[in-house]
Amino acid sequence: MAFLHPAFLWALTALAIPVLIHLFQLRRFKRIDFTNVRLLAEVSQQTRARKKVQHWLVLLARLLALTCLVLAFAQPYIPQADRTVKAGQRAVSIYVDDSYSMDGTNPEGRLLDQARKGAQDAVMAYSATDRFQVLTSRFEGRQQMLLGRDDALEAAAQTTAGPYSRPISKVLARQREALATSEAPVRRALLFTDLQRSVTDVEAWTNDTLIPTVIVPIVPATVDNLSIDTAWFESPVRRAMQAEALHVRIRNHGAQELVNVPLRVSIDGRQRALASFSVGAGASVDTVLRFTGEPPGRHWGEIALNDRPVTFDDQLFIGFGVTDRLRVLLVSGGDADSDRSVAAVFSGDSLHRFTQQTAQLLDLSGLAQQDLVVLNALPAVASGVQDALESFVRAGGSVVVFPPANADAAGHAALLQRLGATASTQSDTSRMKVDRIDLQHPFYRDVFQTMPRNVDLPWSRQRWTLRPRPGSDVLLRLQDGSPFLVRTTVDRGSVYLCAAPLAEGASNLTQHALFATSLLRMAELSRPMGPLYHAIGEGTAITLDGIDPGAETPPHLRGPDGIDLVPELRRTPTGLQLVLHDLDLPAGAYALTNGTDTLALLGLNTPRTESDLAAWDPDRLEEELAQRGLTSFSVLKEGTSDLSLRLNELDQGRKLWKWFIALALLFLALEVFLIRPLR
């Protein structure tokens, strides 16, 4: 047993007062003589003996009553193991996990409702003069302030589920920062969380003996959950009214197999496709939704399924653009035959807008409007053209370089160096065929299903010896292993380098079906449509390709529930970025507008880190804390039931002052009972 106010024990010296009173009786007895006192003497001896015993019992009752009163004022308690109790004002930090996983349930109801009630009970367990921090995963600036009891109760009651999920180590850091601003001698931290393994990073926790931390687990009854993990189109480019195949990956985080679960996709609010899928326990499955594409323009879509009670990951919003034509520019170096071969690939195709210019009359200002630029047989590339091509590629465009016949690489050396490659100045004139086509490479994987072993592949008699930079993709190789067709990524764009000229006699590439196939694939991949969707969360930055909002009026971001805000637009070397920071936005389709003009449609979704509901078992967590020596942490395994009482016992030990008050009253009543017969 220990005492919260041991100084009161000095009052035990007052026990001498009743002792002195009993030792020095001020009452004197008067003697009366009787003729025959034999019978009176016998009665007197018996009465005096009884009174002496009663007086000592009264003294004992008074001493015990006074002792109990003194001990009650000293506030005795039985401390918890390895804990000390301090007197004074308290500063208490309470974290309420408001991530979407708290929408789960257990026999007591919804997890978030239990966390809110537990936080309010915790506030009421302390004194009205104590100060409180109510922290959620939103990490708002105002949550770093210490509040009074009423404000803390209101803040806990207003907590709602949101898209943010924070590692517990970061939560602990925020709590300690807030408590460090308080001068209260007693500081405590409480965590109301479902102990999801994805965020309960015990390995990153540190001890702080000045701030004991109590974890109140609110564990769901089941970890079953079905989530839409990701989605992608089979083709990288959306073209008007073409057949679309939308691949969707669904993950089953539960322990039961699910059969014939419906999945639907809506485009611009209209349902376009419906499918069903089956997925095993703890597995994922890919399914395909097929529908006819949309007209040119910007569109948004919603992929949805039904899975309760956790529903935040049952929808995936996407945003995409549909183009009518891909724009291809041929920059000619004067080889008319090979120019006609390139033009034949694109000019007769309604899906492409083909134009041709000579190197001397090239319109550099119009490069930004192109998707694919083909440089054919240019003897040299001027520095101004090099600057324009580099900017075009870094902004997301694609360039194809076919070398001139009977010329070395000196005229292209500066351009190749800028685009991440070099070529020898000596041409190789030996006849050599392309070795094989790598069907596993994404460039050709969706073009050829199978390839005969004895297929006739292109050959060349003139070629440059290319040396691409590390990380480049060698799409085609010659029989000696040297690169024939190379793809190099430069920022957001791509550069394709062919070792052989297209001129007749230098190679037969233009006469081979692989020529048209490769050029069409380059055009198809020339302007990626960008990500279909983005995750809402910490530091979200969205790159906006080909968008110029202008400088007169700022654009607005409009979304569901009437959201209308002016976002931050940041110009970076890679392009324009939309920065959302930690904005608390609901999932949905958002439009970036400037007046009546819609600049972009975006699909914003909650992160999928919360989809896996697997959580720490409280007993296992307690063992892990003990193994790591984290003695400043304790786990209340009974949840929020009788929370006030258990927090008091945990924080201040088992208080005994009420028992001593009761004993003092009992001894005073006993004293009264002993005194009354004496009168």
Q: Which amino acid is at 508?
A: N
Q: Of the ranges 337-341, 490-494, 555-559, which one carries the lowest mean pLDDT score?
A: 490-494
Q: Is residue 43 domain-resident?
A: yes
Assign 40 a pLDDT band (cuts: 50, 70, 90).
low
Assign 396 a pLDDT band (cuts: 50, 70, 90).
confident
Burial (CB < 10 A; 0-12, 13-18, 19+), residue 306, is exposed
Residue-averaged pLDDT of the chain: 84
Flag whether pLDDT at 660 surpasses 90: no
Report which of residues 308 and 26 the model is more confident about: 308
Assign 624 a pLDDT band (cuts: 50, 70, 90).
very high
* pLDDT of res. 405: 87
The stretch 308-312 carries a mean pLDDT of: 84
Report which of residues 105 and 135 the model is more confident about: 135
* pLDDT of res. 32: 61
Flag whether pLDDT at 290 surpasses 90: yes
The stretch 623-627 carries a mean pLDDT of: 93
Q: Scanning the structure block, which residue is given the tokens 């001894």?
A: 667
Report which of residues 242 and 15 the model is more confident about: 242
- Residue-wise pLDDT for 130-144, tens only, equals 999 999 998 988 999
Flag whether pLDDT at 226 surpasses 90: yes
Asked if 395 and 481 sit in the same domain, the reply is yes
Task: Tell me the backbone φ, ψ of residue 269, rounded to 5 degrees.
Answer: 85, 0
* pLDDT of res. 460: 92
* pLDDT of res. 538: 59
- Residue-wise pLDDT for 333-357, tens only, equals 999 999 999 999 998 777 889 999 9
Q: Is residue 84 domain-resident?
A: no
Asked if 498 and 606 sit in the same domain, the reply is no
Boundary (domain end) residue, out of 490, 524, 558: 524
* pLDDT of res. 493: 86
Number of domains in the chain: 4
Asked if 151 and 113 sit in the same domain, the reply is yes
Q: Is residue 85 domain-resident?
A: no
The overall longest dimension of the chain from CA atoms, in Å, is 164
Give the DSSP letter of residue 561.
G
The stretch 619-637 carries a mean pLDDT of: 91
* pLDDT of res. 653: 54
Closest to 491 in 3D by CA, of 406, 423, 556, 394: 394
Report which of residues 47 and 235 the model is more confident about: 235
Asked if 187 and 125 sit in the same domain, the reply is yes
CB 571 within 8 A of CB 543: no
- Residue-wise pLDDT for 174-212, tens only, equals 999 999 999 998 899 999 999 999 899 999 999 998 899
* pLDDT of res. 528: 67
Asked if 643 and 668 sit in the same domain, the reply is no
162 SS3 class = strand
The stretch 360-389 carries a mean pLDDT of: 91
* pLDDT of res. 343: 94
Q: Is residue 256 domain-resident?
A: yes
Asked if 371 and 497 sit in the same domain, the reply is yes
Asked if 111 and 195 sit in the same domain, the reply is yes
Q: Cα(549)–Cα(273) distance, rounded to whole angstroms?
A: 34
Asked if 557 and 633 sit in the same domain, the reply is no
Contacts of 398 (CB under 8 A, 6+ apart): 371, 372, 373, 493, 494, 495, 496, 522, 523, 525, 526, 527
Q: Please, which contacts does 624-632 make with residues 24 or more away whose CB atoms are closer than 8 Å? A: 624/202, 625/202, 628/202, 628/203, 628/205, 629/207, 630/202, 630/205, 630/206, 630/207, 631/82, 631/207, 631/209, 632/207, 632/208, 632/209, 632/211, 632/212, 632/213
Q: Cα(113)–Cα(290) distance, rounded to whole angstroms?
A: 41
Asked if 70 and 31 sit in the same domain, the reply is yes
Q: Is residue 347 domain-resident?
A: yes
- 633-635 and 213-217 strand pairing: parallel
* pLDDT of res. 163: 80
Asked if 597 and 666 sit in the same domain, the reply is no
Q: Which of 176-180, 236-240, 424-428, 650-654 has the highest mean pLDDT?
A: 176-180
Assign 42 a pLDDT band (cuts: 50, 70, 90).
low
Q: Is residue 116 domain-resident?
A: yes
Q: Cα(679)–Cα(675) distance, rounded to whole angstroms?
A: 7
CB 575 within 8 A of CB 545: yes
Report which of residues 166 and 440 the model is more confident about: 166
Burial (CB < 10 A; 0-12, 13-18, 19+), residue 262, is exposed
Flag whether pLDDT at 41 surpasses 80: no
Asked if 372 and 516 sit in the same domain, the reply is yes
Q: Of the ranges 124-128, 283-287, 392-396, 666-670, which one carries the lowest mean pLDDT score?
A: 666-670
Domain housing 145: 90-222+615-652
CATH number for 141: 3.40.50.410
CA 46 to chain centre: 88
* pLDDT of res. 539: 62
Query: What single string gives the DSSP state of each residue in 395-452?
Result: TT-EEEEEPPTT--GGGGHHHHHHTTEEE-SSPB-S-EEEEEE-TTSHHHHTT-S---
Q: Of the ranges 275-279, 353-357, 425-429, which one carries the lowest mean pLDDT score?
A: 425-429
Assign 247 a pLDDT band (cuts: 50, 70, 90).
very high
Flag whether pLDDT at 84 surpasses 60: no
Question: What share of the chain has pLDDT > 70, as a percent?
Answer: 86
CATH number for 564: 2.60.40.10
Flag whether pLDDT at 588 surpasses 90: yes
CB 629 within 8 A of CB 207: yes
Q: Cα(382)–Cα(358) distance, rounded to whole angstroms?
A: 13
Q: Cα(418)–Cα(552) distance, rounded to whole angstroms?
A: 35
The stretch 382-410 carries a mean pLDDT of: 88
CB 489 within 8 A of CB 526: no
Q: Is residue 26 domain-resident?
A: yes
Asked if 282 and 388 sit in the same domain, the reply is no
CATH number for 375: 3.40.50.880
